[in-house]
A and B are shown apart, each in its own frame.
Chain A
């Protein structure tokens, strides 16, 4: 069975930093592109970042560009999101996700809540 388990969320003051992790199991992590998607309280889904299998291609949403950094360690089956200069508007549940493309393989974690507040 496929599992994606996020961790690292919590309460952080504006301007602070946080590193999210996502541990993958049950599928061949190294052969799939991965994403971070967030959802602010009571709001819709917002894509945050994409990373290719070998980390050679990385994209960010404009709202986080220059502040967030995505990375992965295929040897550890793990995905990361380093979040710096956090703002109140970054408050959201953050999901790591393998999003379906050509095939119907689509996996999401349970999400980790990041709250940016003083």
Chain B
């Protein structure tokens, strides 16, 4: 059972907009910034969003992040076939004194 809660799966068709949610608590998302990662099979996670809504250089603006209260969201617009991957949210937890990850969301492009 992950501290941050994500839906296990999400799907969309090419060109569509998909949103993945991440629910936490006051000790993690409510206090600290959220990162979002994309992981392709057999590879290390790649940072998509940091500080809730900031994109590292090189990440397309099709990816966007938002945060409200103790929840965060990752939105992917103009869905492409190579967006098919696992997506994870992460934040520092002040009560656990550690970083917590969501359980991951497997995105399928239909």
Chain A positions near chain B (C-beta within 8 angstroms):
35, 37, 44-47, 50, 59-62, 95, 99-104, 106, 108-111
3 tightest CB-CB pairs across the interface, nearest first?
A: A104-B56, A106-B47, A108-B44
User: How distant is A41 from chain B, measured CB to nearest CB, in Å?
Assistant: 11
Chain B positions near chain A (C-beta within 8 angstroms):
2, 33, 35, 37, 39, 44-45, 47, 50-51, 54-57, 86, 88, 90, 96-104
B88 touching A45 by the CB < 8 A rule? yes
Residues of B within 8 A of A102 (CB): 51
Residues of B within 8 A of A61 (CB): 98
A104 touching B54 by the CB < 8 A rule? yes
Task: Return the contact of B50 from the options A44, A100, A110 (Cβ within 8 A).
Answer: A100
Residues of A within 8 A of B37 (CB): 45
Measured CA separation A99–B45 after assembly (Å): 11
Smallest Cβ-Cβ distance to B102: which chain A residue:
A44
A45 touching B47 by the CB < 8 A rule? no
A108 touching B98 by the CB < 8 A rule? no
B98 touching A47 by the CB < 8 A rule? yes
B35 touching A109 by the CB < 8 A rule? no
B103 touching A47 by the CB < 8 A rule? no
Measured CA separation A61–B104 after assembly (Å): 18
Residues of A within 8 A of B100 (CB): 47
A106 touching B56 by the CB < 8 A rule? yes
Name 29 A/B residue pairs within 8 A (Cβ), A-sorted. A37-B99, A44-B2, A44-B86, A44-B103, A44-B104, A45-B39, A45-B45, A45-B90, A45-B101, A45-B104, A46-B101, A47-B90, A47-B101, A50-B98, A59-B97, A59-B98, A60-B98, A61-B98, A95-B45, A99-B90, A100-B47, A100-B51, A102-B51, A104-B55, A104-B56, A106-B50, A106-B56, A108-B44, A108-B45
